[in-house]
């Protein structure tokens, strides 16, 4: 008990004791001891009840009780109450001003921010940008379900999917289809989530301009290159070894440019996600073709093994999948020194399947693995050019696999080799057709 409380207690107990003492004295003098004591006790209880009533009055009011001057336990209680009230009001003021700051920050956010809760995705709060980008109106839409405002998403029911944490990179705004939105959803309590919609129209436009530019330039380069290459094939001067060497070099370089242009066009087509012809891809044929290509490229300098334990075929674009797998195999051959080993393995993996290409080649430093699927990223520029690489092979692989809902896993040890694995999910698996005799 602190000293103020002890003093207050004493200031309350002493008068009570003094009153009872006086009552006892008067009782002894008047010979009505019990009567005097009882009347005094009733008076004391009445006084305390009165104080209780005053206290209740203070507790019931919203305004801060005025701190009384006098001593005694009741005054002390009211003083404590008053102090607490003051502190609570100051805290509330601070919280309100903090909330206002956060509210302003959220409201002035350039991205649309919507707080939703419950299974119905009820809208609890949104900022001004949500009005501009998602067409939400205040107060009309507070309490309504966000689902009804996002009916045209490319992934139906995205808000209620378990994997809705994955963002949607390019969606039309419900306000104007020309506004492109990137959507992201975060959980911040068990039941509440925040949707953030960012206007990416400019970015998408720039991306489209870049894509069209690359596609057009590659297309325009194709014809002159074919003509050049054709004439170079005819030209040679076998009499003059120096000139012959120059023609050979020119032919090699024009071939390289041809590959580059072809790879750029393939990548453009894949990026545009133009629907490709999908059908059953016969894996025995695919693996046989891959083996032939690997052997031709290796020229007998590597040990090449192909195993097929999956006994299923795939559903997809034969051309695209062949291009992806053969890029991996061509890399394995080119980045593995003479007498190295290359294993091509097709196997089941849970409900899906995996095609892996393992080599015992140079390997890739682990810090560079995350970047090697970027366009023109090479671990060693000189080695890649020397070996006829365009720097686009793995980008093509990544895009093909993306278009097939598959993923690429890369494991590598410098000096020991690398394994590139394509993981294909169950919906890409089809039972293998028995090979006909004609086949």
Q: Per rule CB under 6 A, is residue 362 in the interface with ligand ADP?
A: yes
Q: Per rule CB under 6 A, is residue 113 in the interface with ligand ADP?
A: no
Closer to ligand ADP at the Cβ: 12 or 390?
390
Q: Least distance in Å: CB of 364 to ligand ADP?
A: 5
Q: Per rule CB under 6 A, is residue 432 in the interface with ligand ADP?
A: no
Q: Per rule CB under 6 A, is residue 332 in the interface with ligand ADP?
A: yes
Q: Least distance in Å: CB of 283 to ligand ADP?
A: 22
424 and 353 Cβ atoms separated by less than 8 Å:
yes
The two three-digit tokens of residue 81, written as one number: 């109450």
Q: Per rule CB under 6 A, is residue 418 in the interface with ligand ADP?
A: yes
Q: Binding string, 363-382, against ligand ADP, x = CB under 6 A? A: xx-------x----xxxx--
Q: Per rule CB under 6 A, is residue 335 in the interface with ligand ADP?
A: yes
Q: Per rule CB under 6 A, is residue 359 in the interface with ligand ADP?
A: yes
Q: Least distance in Å: CB of 375 to ligand ADP?
A: 8
Q: Per rule CB under 6 A, is residue 48 in the interface with ligand ADP?
A: no
Phi first, then psi: give them for residue 419, nearest 5 degrees: -130, 125
Q: Near ligand ADP by CB under 6 A, which window of 274-282, 285-293, 309-317, 356-364?
A: 356-364
Cα gap 84→394, rounded to integer Å: 68
Cα gap 116→188, rounded to integer Å: 10
For ligand ADP (CB under 6 A), the number of binding residues is 23
Q: What residues have CB less than 8 Å from 370, skipping those under 6 apart?
A: none
Which residues within the stretch 380-409 sit at the binding site for ligand ADP (CB under 6 A)?
380, 384, 389-395
Q: Least distance in Å: CB of 194 to ligand ADP?
A: 38
Q: Per rule CB under 6 A, is residue 361 in the interface with ligand ADP?
A: yes
Q: Least distance in Å: CB of 108 to ligand ADP?
A: 43
Helices (runs of H) and strands (runs of E) counted in the chain: 10, 13
Cα gap 389→331, rounded to integer Å: 8
Q: Least distance in Å: CB of 394 to ligand ADP?
A: 3
Beta bridge partners of 356: 345, 421
* Residue 316, number of CB atoms within 10 A of its CB: 25
DSSP state of 237: -
Contacts 24+ apart (CB under 8 A), 168-173: 169/200, 170/200, 170/204, 173/133, 173/134, 173/135, 173/197, 173/199
* Residue 113, number of CB atoms within 10 A of its CB: 19
Residues that bind ligand ADP in the complex, under the rule CB under 6 A = 327, 331-332, 335, 359, 361-364, 372, 377-380, 384, 389-395, 418
């Amino acid at each position: 008990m602190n000293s103020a409380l002890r003093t207050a207690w004493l200031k309350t107990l002493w008068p009570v004791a003094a009153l009872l003492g006086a009552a006892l004295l008067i009782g002894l003098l008047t010979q009505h001891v019990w009567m005097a004591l009882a009347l005094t006790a009733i008076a004391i209880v009445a006084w305390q009840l009165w104080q209780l009533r005053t206290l209740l009055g203070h507790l019931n009011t919203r305004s801060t009780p005025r701190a009384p001057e006098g001593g005694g336990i009741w005054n002390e209680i009211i003083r404590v109450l008053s102090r607490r009230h003051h502190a609570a009001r100051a805290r509330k003021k601070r919280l309100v001003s903090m909330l206002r700051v956060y509210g302003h920050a959220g409201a002035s956010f350039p991205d649309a921010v919507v707080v939703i809760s419950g299974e119905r995705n009820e809208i609890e709060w949104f900022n001004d940008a949500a009005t501009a980008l998602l067409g939400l109106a205040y107060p009309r839409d507070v309490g309504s379900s966000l689902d009804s405002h996002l009916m045209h998403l490319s992934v139906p029911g995205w808000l209620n999917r378990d994997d809705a944490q994955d963002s949607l990179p390019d969606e039309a705004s419900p306000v104007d289809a020309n506004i492109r939105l990137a959507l992201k959803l975060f959980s911040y309590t068990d039941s509440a989530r925040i949707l953030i919609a960012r206007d990416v129209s400019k970015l998408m436009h720039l991306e489209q301009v870049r894509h069209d530019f690359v596609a057009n330039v590659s297309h325009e380069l194709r014809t002159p290159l074919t003509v050049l290459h054709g004439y170079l094939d005819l030209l040679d001067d076998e009499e003059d070894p120096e000139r012959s060497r120059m023609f050979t070099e020119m032919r090699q370089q024009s071939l390289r440019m041809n590959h580059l242009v072809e790879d750029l066009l393939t990548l453009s087509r894949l990026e545009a996600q133009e629907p490709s012809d999908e059908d059953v891809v016969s894996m025995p044929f695919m693996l046989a073709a891959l083996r032939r290509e690997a052997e031709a490229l290796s020229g007998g300098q590597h040990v090449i093994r192909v195993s097929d334990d999956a006994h299923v075929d795939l559903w997809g674009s034969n051309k695209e999948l062949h291009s992806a797998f053969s890029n991996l195999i061509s890399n394995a051959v080119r980045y593995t020194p003479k007498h190295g080993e290359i294993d091509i393995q097709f196997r089941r993996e849970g409900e899906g399947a995996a095609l892996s290409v393992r080599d015992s080649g140079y390997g890739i430093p682990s810090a560079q693995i995350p970047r090697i699927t970027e366009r023109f990223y090479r671990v060693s520029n000189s080695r890649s050019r020397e070996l006829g690489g365009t720097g686009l092979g793995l980008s093509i692989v990544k895009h093909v696999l993306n278009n097939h809902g598959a993923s690429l896993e890369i494991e590598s040890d410098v000096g020991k080799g690398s394994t590139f694995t394509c993981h294909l999910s169950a919906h890409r698996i089809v039972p293998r057709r028995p090979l006909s005799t004609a086949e």
